[in-house]
Amino acid sequence: MHPNALLELATELLHRVLQFQQPADAVVSAFFREHKGLGGRERATLAETTYAVLRQRALFQHLAQSGRGEMERRLAILGWQGNEGFLRAAMNEAEQQWLQQVGAVDRAALPEKLRHNLPDWLAERLQSALGDDFWPFVEAMSRPAPLDLRVNTLKAKREEAQQALREAGIAAEPTPFSPIGLRVQGKPALHKLEVFTSGAVEVQDEGSQLLALLTDPKRGEMVVDFCAGAGGKTLALGALMRNTGRLYAFDSSGHRLAALKPRLARSGLSNVYPVQIAHERDDRVKRLAGKIDRVLVDAPCSGLGTLRRNPDLKWRQSPAAIDELVAKQAAILANAARLVKSGGRLVYATCSLLDAENEAVAAAFEASVGADFVRVPAADALAAAHVARADELVHENHLRLWPHRHQTDGFFAAVWNRR
């Protein structure tokens, strides 16, 4: 492909993504479906350039004001993640001079808002939560996330999966906390490998693995994954149950549950029952009241813990949207709690970084249920599930994961046992 044609495609893709009408990954996927002739390297350049611009949008828009031509083209040049020679060949002389001038700008001397690349409302909340840790957090969020895999212990041991990856030329290290995880650098094509197609490994962030381990389901139990989504945690729970008992995967979206089907087929699990529910008060939920041993509520949330993967979220969320989510989270948790039998366990989790969606929701729930649910210290629950260095993962008796501290996505979880 001619260099200028690739730069023009990057410009067009950014134009669509920066309208923020849909999640960036959905826009990128639709764009690639339209342009079926693109090779793997061209797709990688387009996708990575788009995400680089989303990560540093405030800075790049400031720097782009000095140039000429279409704004999205200048942003694509600033965020370019492909071959440098290719980019030089695509630019005219004026653009090359402008890029040199911009490259000479001392970025460390720019205002804070151009260095942290966060909207004001989010920067304020995170600065107050993190203090001196705010800038290390910003630095971690400006880099792509590693690729974490969960080993399906029904089909392989961690060492066996690691060896299979090594034989395919992929270096994988054991995850530092999860006893069932492997971490891979870069973005190798896994989906054609035997170790993946056989169901021996599944893509899942280490933090997400820890939520399943915290739920700690046992053989033969009745377990509910209340907001199952595409089922990453469902599959982890089913394997921890050794494919025994009954595991209900509830979700209000048939589309998301459909995405679970091929993953479920690979996993070899036969104890999973996907159930589409209308809402958290659905009759199918009510019928199981007081009958369930373990309930995991991975609640719909802002998703801000996944900014390394989904940098568009910081520009698409708002304080008003957070308030709506908090009300929804409280309602879902209250209804899910009714399923838990006497002596059973309830886990409330999000992939948010914000106290409002995390500690505040957990505290309000505790106040509403009184002595019926007793908080379990997260460090104890993690240690019981053979999680390494559990004390490092806990803040005020809750699981609290941060990308810059734990190299996982940002996660929160609170654990209770019913009296």
Please choose, from the candidates 407, 388, 413, the residue with its C-alpha nearest in 3D space to the C-alpha of residue 148.
407
Separation CA 377–CA 155 (nearest Å): 32
351 is known as an active-site residue: yes
163, 133 contact by CB (below 8 A)? no
357, 322 contact by CB (below 8 A)? yes
Q: How many CB atoms lie within 10 A of CB 207?
A: 29
- 3-class SS of residue 34: helix
Separation CA 152–CA 147 (nearest Å): 16
Contacts for 8 with CB less than 8 Å, ≥ 6 apart: 73
Tell me the two tokens of residue 145. Answer: 């996330």
Give how far the C-alpha of residue 256 lies from the chain's centroid of Cα atoms, to the nearest Å.
15
145, 409 contact by CB (below 8 A)? yes
Q: How many helices (H) and strands (E) does the chain have?
A: 21, 13
Distances from the Cα of 204 to the Cαs of 60, 145, 235, in angstroms? Answer: 31, 12, 10
The type of residue at 405 is R
Please pick, among 184, 351, 354, 361, the residue that the annotation labels catalytic: 351
Residue 176 CB-density burial (10 A; 0-12 exposed, 13-18 middle, 19+ buried):
middle
Rg (CA), the chain: 23
Tell me the two tokens of residue 185. Answer: 């650098």
Residues with active-site annotation: 351
